[in-house]
Amino acid sequence: MMDWLFSKFGLIVACTILILSLSGIFISMNRAAIRSELQERADELASWVNSAIPLPSEARWEYQLDLEIGGGSDIRTRLLPDMVVLEWRGTRVHSDIIVPVHLWDPAGVDLTNNSEIVWLDEQFSELQVHRTIILEHVLVHQKWGEVYLTFLHSP
The string of pLDDT tens digits covering residues 98-151 is 999 999 999 988 888 888 989 999 999 999 988 889 999 999 888 888 889 999
- Band of the pLDDT at 29, cuts 50, 70, 90? low
What is the span of the domain harbouring residue 44?
Answer: 2-153
Contact 62, 129 (CB under 8 A): no
Contact 88, 38 (CB under 8 A): yes
The confidence score (pLDDT) of residue 30 equals 67
CA 16 to chain centre: 39
Q: How many domains does the chain have?
A: 1
Q: How far apart are the first and last CA of the chain?
A: 76
pTM of the model: 0.76
Mean pLDDT of 72-79: 82
Mean pLDDT of 68-97: 87
